[in-house]
Structure 1
Amino acid sequence: MITRDIAAFSAFARSAAADFGPATARAAFLVAPDGFRLAEQSARDNVYMADAAAFDAARASMQHRDLQRAVSAVLPTVCFAGDPATPDAVFPNNVFGTAAGRYVVGRMRHEVRQREAARADIRAFFRDVLGRAGIDLSAQPHPCELTGALVIDRARGLGFCGLSERCDEDGARLMHEAFGLRATLLFDLALGEYHTNVVLAVLAGRAAVVCPKGFADPAVAAAVVALYAPHAVICGEAEHAAFVANCIALSPETVWMSAAAGRALSPGHRAVLADAGFRVETVELDAIEAAGGSLRCCIGELY
């Protein structure tokens, strides 16, 4: 099922068993922020990006290493070298994704990010080292920026796909098929939002973090909250701006977000996550966040 019908999707989702696959990833992969700087093409439709003067390549590199070190304590984490020709490559989850036995290469909107999809070493890692079959969406015309645009409940096989200039309906259908999902809900993001994973996270199939103002239709946000209640965090404006929803469960017990997001997370919302069985782990990523993404955007998942 792939639909815009909220009621039909919700009815299906409520009956979907949590037997689609592992709720959290087996391993993670990163791409180092080598050549980290403002990507002017990406800045055209990413309101979260800072001005060029705010980019600190040395600090970004240090914080990225801290991120890898921290995440490696929870699950195996590999880091590929960056490339000065691809300053946005620090956010690889938009370009490369995985499902059981396969890897997916997305179609990026901007040419500067399309270069990332051609990385022979990353493709060879999935194909030759891990022995996975490839599904290459990078050459077709429809933007589909993988788990930036598509938030997946891996336990139930459910997708939540926000449409914007970074993903159209055809691109959403291609991702739905590539990841083999049971059902995907399509909806429009609010004006100015570029990726769903900035305004929505589904955590190990049993909790959600939602920024209602990131959705064009408030009914969509309400439906997601209802699916995961009582373990649903409804972010206020400060939490939204601090990337609280750009978080990820890297184990059944841990939710990871940037330190700035952790500071913005209200005590009541921290308690909601605790009631769902999660402790919050944080890493300072203010230098990385200048590029318009946060911790979840940095992490590619190996399922």
Structure 2
Amino acid sequence: MNLVSIQAPAAVVMIRPHGFLPNPQTAADNTFQRTADEDAGAPPSVSAAARDEVTAAAQTLADAGVRVHVFDDHGECDTPDSVFPNNWFSTHAGGHIALYPMHSPNRRRERRSDVIDMLKNEYRVQDVIDYSGLEYDDVFLEGTGAMVLDHVARIAYTARSRRADPVALERFCTHFNFEPICFDTADAEGRPIYHTNVMMSVATEFAMVGLDLIADHRRRDEIARRLTETGRTVIALDQLQIANFAGNTLELSGKNGRVLALSRRAFDYLMPDQRATIERSARLLPLDVPTIELAGGSVRCMLAGIHLMPRRAQCVSNF
């Protein structure tokens, strides 16, 4: 197995929240979200549990050889979803960073200059392309939540939603040389999926996708064909697996090869043959994040992959 992969970054940014709470501004279209008092008690205990889950997850990733940059969010700016940084920025080979327009007003406050400054200091950054001004025109594209990027075939798979505006998507794809492949989705109740990355994950040698959620069968077949053409094995996930975050995973490069970061809940819903297919290419690395999953996102949402060249030899994680 080739240990080097442009699809699987060797470093990530994580945000450790101190004011975590399922976000009332995002609840309308995020059907994965649940209220905190339904599952985990009073908000202070929820926030503390989420903070501890990030700390433990970061340590597990570091132990696997992934470089982890952890930033604390003390909650002064009312940012209940800050634990999901992949929505407001992404990084790209060649030294590029993108900043994204966010749909919910309190999510726009998650953007922070110290994260970008760290990337400039630790990695080779050529430019930062800022799309956040599109918010003033009600145009949104929530990063690698709205898009699942195939860095090899240069495809941006995108489920249509109010968080993935075609104007912003076209601008991103033009700047970063991706082909947009858009599709409509529907869950068992006919509701669209709010973010592509809860139903789809593209790794180096496999892809996990909820094909049954793609409304048009011709588009469904085309997406499966495009993934297969790149040499990947397509792992079809059913709606129950998607509802339990089995599609919300991220492949990373560790010290002994690639790992697939996913939640313990997602891992438990994978079938034995699906696990076997994954482990031919990447070691499964389940992380315990039940509190964070209350907010309607899981492990992939927590990880902003760094596809940049380091300025110096990789050192220990900082958390």
TM over 0.5: yes
The CA distance in 2 between the partners of 1:177 and 1:301, in whole Å, is: 21
Pick the aligned partner of 1:123 from 116, 121, 127. Answer: 116
Aligned in 2, Cα 1:33/1:123: closer, same or farther, shift over 3 Å?
same
The CA distance in 2 between the partners of 1:179 and 1:95, in whole Å, is: 16
- Superposition pairs of residues 39-50 of structure 1, within 5 angstroms: 39-50=23-34
More off after superposition, 221-230 vs 37-46: 221-230
Q: Does residue 35 in structure 1 map to residue 29 in structure 2? A: no
**CA-CA distance at 1:131 after TM superposition:** 5.0
Do the aligned residues in 2 keep the contact of 1:244 with 1:262 (CA within 8 Å)?
yes
**CA-CA distance at 1:189 after TM superposition:** 3.0
AA aligned to 2:143 is L
Structure 1: stretches of 5+ with no match in the other structure: 1-20
TM-score normalised by the chain length of structure 2: 0.82
Aligned in 2, Cα 1:228/1:273: closer, same or farther, shift over 3 Å?
farther
The CA distance in 1 between the partners of 2:113 and 2:258, in whole Å, is: 35
AA aligned to 2:61 is V
Pick the aligned partner of 2:36 from 27, 37, 52. Answer: 52
Q: Does residue 283 in structure 1 map to residue 274 in structure 2? A: no
AA aligned to 1:139 is G
> Aligned residues: percent identity?
28
Paired position in structure 1 for 2:268:
263
Pick the aligned partner of 1:77 from 68, 78, 87. Answer: 68
Paired position in structure 2 for 1:242:
244
**CA-CA distance at 1:129 after TM superposition:** 4.8
Do the aligned residues in 1 keep the contact of 2:19 with 2:74 (CA within 8 Å)?
yes
Structure 2: stretches of 5+ with no match in the other structure: 41-45, 308-319
**CA-CA distance at 1:176 after TM superposition:** 1.3
Aligned in 2, Cα 1:131/1:256: closer, same or farther, shift over 3 Å?
closer
The CA distance in 2 between the partners of 1:86 and 1:214, in whole Å, is: 30
AA aligned to 1:61 is R
SS of 2:32's equivalent in the other structure is coil
Paired position in structure 1 for 2:159:
162
Which digits, 9 at most, give the CA deviation of each residue in 1:110-132, with x for residues without a partner?
10111112x12123223455352
Q: Which stretches of structure 1, 4 residues or longer, exceed 6 Å deviation after superposition?
A: none
SS of 1:253's equivalent in the other structure is strand
Q: Does residue 203 in structure 1 map to residue 203 in structure 2? A: yes
Pick the aligned partner of 1:90 from 58, 62, 83. Answer: 83
Number of aligned positions between the proteins? 279
The CA distance in 2 between the partners of 1:31 and 1:299, in whole Å, is: 9
The CA distance in 1 between the partners of 2:83 and 2:68, in whole Å, is: 14
Aligned in 2, Cα 1:178/1:71: closer, same or farther, shift over 3 Å?
farther
SS of 2:26's equivalent in the other structure is helix
- Superposition pairs of residues 102-251 of structure 1, within 5 angstroms: 102-117=96-111, 119-132=112-125, 133-140=127-134, 141=137, 142-181=139-178, 183-190=179-186, 191-204=191-204, 206-229=205-228, 231-251=233-253
More off after superposition, 183-192 vs 146-155: 183-192
The CA distance in 1 between the partners of 2:159 and 2:239, in whole Å, is: 19
SS of 1:228's equivalent in the other structure is helix
**CA-CA distance at 1:184 after TM superposition:** 2.1
